[in-house]
Structure 1
């Protein structure tokens, strides 16, 4: 009965997921015009990435189910005097974590914590999650390990870690200053008050301890290219302690990522797309810059970096372009999709674009000045 209820809930969730339905329709359309054989579609999916994402979702759910985030939220609220202070603290934490843990892992830590804090004090949840998505896009641009496109371009460039950071530092510094300024304006200075007694929430210490211990082990094994085996270990460990943790994983998000891999790779593989890229004059840095931003809005910044690197090895311009391209439309960065899926408001994408599109314009202007006008 419990399994049937889980399936019914999952089906209801999928029926209400408009973005998932759009991806399915796109898959049908691309299948009609693509020459890629249907049996080869699974090979288009980056399964190690899906395994890594599943493991992170499971571990995050384990920490959240343990009640630890609720208690941490209570503790943090004691130090956050106002809505503005809370927003600046969470946005900064998201940006800093993204420089070392990658943008998606930072969201898996910060967004559940934010949701826990919002349950005990009246804060604009959707707006906070949106600004945290902007923060990880800005912060992760700083280091070669902050996001997948930087890791790819770092390997392509052959430069040192410090040299990569030094090149990205001016862009990230300006973007963070803009983000802090906009955050201070977007959130009020009203005082925070908790509305939920801490004593009512128990802490599942064993589940918390296992989840926290598995985090570094899982990340190390994933980095060593053992993500599928690491995922199996995580699911077995968490399932043996509390199987409901696995039931509450956002399986719909995983399906969204699978479909995105297939759709985007079918799109990039079309002759008309390849011809368009070849005709953009990407040997010219200015053309490469604008192409990187524009392409990110269509296929996301990681595939954009990989595709454009076939036409130009100017990693400095390309790094600026695809990191700026993470702003704008929600498809610009996979981190955007993760944040919006974790937000409780299904219309969060509207709020996201209200803030993200101006950031794309500002980021493009800043990048252009730093690269071509100085």
Structure 2
């Protein structure tokens, strides 16, 4: 249990959010009894299940097997990077952005056992890729689910609406990947014995993963999480101890901080004017708010005053680039990277990507409107 408590004590992001929340509570009109309702508990339950299942797959050792196969197939950094980035983008279109990251980031981390690769940079690009890929479909990310459910549009209609932005950003990202990763030969470590893996743990984790994805569709996520917890308690207790429990608390505190922020009297006094904004104002406001409170809370907030328009859909998805809080997927990817250097390196790529996405997004909106 000391491992769990140590993660809480060493989590500087959590400490910062707690201090910010305490300051906001002083000036906010929100009462303590309102705070539990501010948390999207479905998201927390979903994230908990994904953390457990990913750690189960990781502990089974099968990611080592996949990593060894990737090293046998790819011989140049650029080719490997292009494959991983494209896989992240495509997986996120139908598995959602966070699920895609929970599959690919642990696999990426295993590559360090077989070669010398810029894994931090590769994980950064995978985070950018899921932000670009997930915007295409109604189920690619939480903000799209909200917008789609309120718009009443069909799946094909929603995809057609998002296709121009998706196409340009994916092509941009692939070109940036080609430029950022050299074509040099991957420097592989000396040959190792075939990696060992625990087949029972892998098969159980895989079956639970598929069951959990189905449970998300059937709205039985809580029951599925209890089953996952019970299975690991019986067969692999180390899984329960070694997931990033402090990340869950970070998300809970983030939801509370956003609720406290929206409860500030100064913000409430100006919020009613949102409905009077034109297209350009909505576009800039949604992107700017996403940089501060993340794009999912921004979508929830703005849908109280605005219709689920194409402009809003494009803006909140573009807002996932830029600063770290822009998308919760950014936080998930960089936390899993376990490398403090990627926190600032991420912005060297993400901020220019935001500027380009804003420019090209607005141009496309004017072209197709």
Is this a same-fold pair by TM over 0.5?
yes
Relative distance call for 1:318 and 1:193 in structure 2 (3 A) is same
Give the TM-score, by structure 1 length. Answer: 0.95
Superposition pairs of residues 28-39 of structure 1, within 5 angstroms? 28-39=22-33
Measured in 2, the distance between the counterparts of 1:165 and 1:134 equals 19
Q: Cα deviations across residues 60-95 of structure 1 (Å, max 9, x unaligned)?
A: 001111110011011011111211111111100000
Which residue is equivalent to 1:92?
A: 86
Measured in 1, the distance between the counterparts of 2:259 and 2:275 equals 22
Q: CA deviation at 1:353?
A: 0.9
Measured in 2, the distance between the counterparts of 1:348 and 1:193 equals 21
Superposition pairs of residues 45-56 of structure 1, within 5 angstroms? 45-56=39-50
Match of 2:54 among 53, 56, 60: 60
Moved more, 333-342 or 33-42: 33-42
Measured in 2, the distance between the counterparts of 1:176 and 1:57 equals 27
Moved more, 16-25 or 156-165: 16-25
Which residue is equivalent to 1:328?
A: 322
Measured in 2, the distance between the counterparts of 1:278 and 1:292 equals 15
Q: Secondary structure at the match of 2:116?
A: coil
- Is the aligned partner of 1:111 residue 2:92? no
Which residue is equivalent to 2:140?
A: 146
Superposition pairs of residues 126-205 of structure 1, within 5 angstroms? 126-195=120-189, 197-199=191-193, 201-205=195-199
**Contact 1:281–1:287 (Cα < 8 Å) also in 2:** no
**Contact 2:4–2:242 (Cα < 8 Å) also in 1:** no
- Is the aligned partner of 1:77 residue 2:52? no
Which residue is equivalent to 2:9?
A: 15
Measured in 1, the distance between the counterparts of 2:190 and 2:45 equals 36
Which residue is equivalent to 2:353?
A: 359
Measured in 1, the distance between the counterparts of 2:88 and 2:175 equals 16
Which residue is equivalent to 1:43?
A: 37
Moved more, 44-53 or 133-142: 44-53
Measured in 2, the distance between the counterparts of 1:152 and 1:247 equals 33
Q: Cα deviations across residues 95-141 of structure 1 (Å, max 9, x unaligned)?
A: 00000000000000010000011222111111111110000000000
Moved over 4 A (4+): none
Measured in 2, the distance between the counterparts of 1:116 and 1:109 equals 12
**Contact 1:121–1:194 (Cα < 8 Å) also in 2:** yes
Measured in 1, the distance between the counterparts of 2:223 and 2:192 equals 37
Q: CA deviation at 1:13?
A: 2.8
Moved more, 257-266 or 100-109: 257-266
Which residue is equivalent to 1:347?
A: 341
Moved more, 33-42 or 140-149: 33-42
Give the TM-score, by structure 2 length. Answer: 0.96
Unaligned runs of 5+ in 2: none
- Is the aligned partner of 1:312 residue 2:306? yes
Q: Cα deviations across residues 147-173 of structure 1 (Å, max 9, x unaligned)?
A: 000011011111110111111111011
- Is the aligned partner of 1:230 residue 2:224? yes
Match of 2:332 among 338, 345, 350: 338
Measured in 2, the distance between the counterparts of 1:193 and 1:125 equals 13
- Count of residues in Structure 1 that have an aligned counterpart in Structure 2: 368
Structure number with higher relative contact order (C-alpha < 8 Å, ≥ 6 residues apart): 2
Q: CA deviation at 1:312?
A: 1.8
CA RMSD of aligned residues (A): 1.5
